Chain A
Amino acid sequence: MKTTRRDLFKFAAGGAAGLLLTPAPWRLVTDTALWSENWPGIPRPVRGELRTRFTHCTLCPAGCPVKARCVGDQPIALAGLPGRPLCAFGLSGHQLPYHADRVTEGDIETVRTLVSKRAATESVAVLDLRPGRTASWTYRRAMAALPRGIYLAPQSAVPAVNLDAVKTILSLGVPVLDGWGTPAKVLAARPHFRLIQAEPMESHTAMLADEWLQLRPGSEQALAEALAGQGGGERTGLSAEQIGSVARQLAQGGALVLATQESPAVIELNHRVGAYGQTIVARREAAVPPSWRPAAPTTALDALPDRSIGVLLIDESAADVYLPWTALESKLAAHAFVVTFASSRAGYGRYARLTLPAPVFPESSDDCVPAVDSLAATFRLAVPLVTPPRGVASPTQFIAKLANLPASNALRERADAIHAVGRGTLQQYADSRVVSIKTIKRDEFWKGLNEGGSWTDDAGGKMPPLEPLPSAPAVVAMSREMRAARGPMPPLVSKLYRESNLRVRT
């Protein structure tokens, strides 16, 4: 039989048709896809032994416990504990160190030399945006050691809120359901209190509130004054009936008024509705070593004369309540030197002469202040999960060195002081064990704290009295605007802000 060119064509066509009936082409498609999946542009997750570590979140003052799933020493996922979940920010907090907008470079030694030189002749002020930490004590000790040191904090004292006693909350722009207090505790108490949100825009909390009062922008204090019987209700844009209705609800007992800034009107209103001693209570502070006691007092910004600060050092690494820059600026001398320790230039970095890179969660080694809804004192460490990059300056160590104080062991010293008092319990998250610190040794207590333990003071006992009016503390909380301005959010929060309609943009 003679093979013709036609036969060759028929064979090729038949072969091609037959090939389709074999797995070969489909295998090729799959393999091509697999190759393309592994192309160099796609990162490959690091594999290794999975470990669980515990720490506390410092992104807000709630200080929620964190269970970190790690590959080796690298955290790959954060979660809360059963009944104590994390918020959206906390869940992606382990990505913050890698934020594209992070400040990573700063000439720390040059700044130290400049500040040391000026500190000899000019007044040096430290602005602590999260007072009550061990770092705050270091700042106060350092300022006491300097000839003209001033310790500034947005709040004179941080009281506690007894959520169990709260029946009505009037919130003047505070994101009560969006990051105030300990989220788990607030949500657990939510069915038992009525929330009235007074805010110009329909924020997340306003959406979920029982009543939303849409008042004119900037008229929150006017509403507080009107409710305290000082007039001015017309400035709020609310009707007299609406204001009267709120006043009646507050008068029914168990009331609490929250604001984003300390003001006499809010203090007076809380006093009138009987909040002090009922819903706002005093809280004992965790013990500190006696040698720390000669510390600088907290100075309110208003108490400072204008143009009196020569050097201003701002610890923005843990920031809860921001003071308006205009208020700070008026206190600065003509050629004042302002340095902020921050992870980004989004906050005071826009105005300061220099921004020095500060560690971020979960790099920072710090302790957590007691949450506003915690009635007992607590001592919890934010144990670093990752090592900060080179060039990052710890504001505590910088300021302590300025006054020749040893800051590196301040947390250990305080833990020892708490242990020496012998009051309270240590909770270990790994095995949910709660032990009295009387039954453990000092080193065991320190080890337990570093493994993510939490010390809680005894609830009973003698509590300090609340300060009388007009210096009684107000419960001040960060507003949504302040929260948005304080710095970069973890990148995955883009899922909330850009890829959904979940959050209203500020």
Chain B
Amino acid sequence: MNISFRKPFEVPIRSMKRSQKVFKRIARLAPFCLIIAVLVSCASGRIDPTDPVGENAKQIDGIMRLSGYMATAVGVFVAAAVIYVIVKFRARPDDDPDELPVQVHGNRKAELTWTVIPVLMLVFLAIVTIPAVFDLSGKSDGRTIKVEGQQWWWQFSYDVDEDGEYDIVTANEIVIPVNEEINLDIRSNDVIHSFWIPQLNGKRDAVPGRVHSWRISSPVPGIFYGECTEFCGLSHANMQMRAVVLSDSDYATWVDEQLAPSDVPLSEAAKRGYDLFGRHCVSCHVVNGVYESAADGNANLASGYAPNLTHLMTRTSFAGALYELYKDDGSVNVADLREWVRNAPGQKPARPENRQGMISFAETLSATELDDLVTYLLTLGGRPPLMPS
């Protein structure tokens, strides 16, 4: 038997060179890693939790980064240990097959160390986390807006005079004043949804039968994008939302405008559209002042509600914030709106035969009738206070 006196920890010089080569190769990869980092930081869409704006979102972002850095540090340590072990302790062709490595069965001190250190790190993380959980819950002194999720759009109701009755009911776009911690009462009218505008705060589920409080605020005016994040059936992917943050004066103007009821239109085409609306749309949709029969819900929809259209044209989007209501040049996006009215289930997956989503009028309405109906819709409300940039 060939007996070697080399200790198992000793590494021949030849393989030291090889391991140096490995590290050189890793060093060469560094620019590539940098490119990835740049790509990551540049890529940003409309929904962007990495760019927090609201106070709550900023608090979350801070704590998330802390946990991310800690996780990365531990990850790098473990990866380095694994790579070191692979490089240093690999079997080599000239190893004596009868020579066993030192048979270590364990080490109490080492094991205690790597139990205690993670415990301390996690205790630190818990100390940071738990107060934040309580900070982020609870109500502020600001006003309260009712948020209702239903397949597949959001409804927002405002009690302006605080008499217990909702005075403004709007859809898909929650309009709030700047610099105010707004309380949300989040509910659902059918299945579970989740309210999420990541630049303002994390998400909160809308659970039928329950009222969940949540807060959002923004220090700057602007439009912030969000979407439903709890799987809610067929068109879950198409249930988007926006928060429109206005200066105090713009917000006051918006409220006054929204409080005004609608009226019978003046032009001939719009008048015909108004009549068609009365025949085909009012069992689900409400226009304050003229068509209010569906205000307390209706049996044609599982959720009971369709968007209130009183001030449709003051919104920037329609159909669950899926389509822009205005083009980049500021003109109305009539083509998409008309196609939506004609055949909604063709534009956004729905199951109207099962009382989920809007029915198609492709067979019911003629081309001129569609034009008239759209003409009427264009008379509902003025212009949005803010346009998407």
A pairs with B:
no
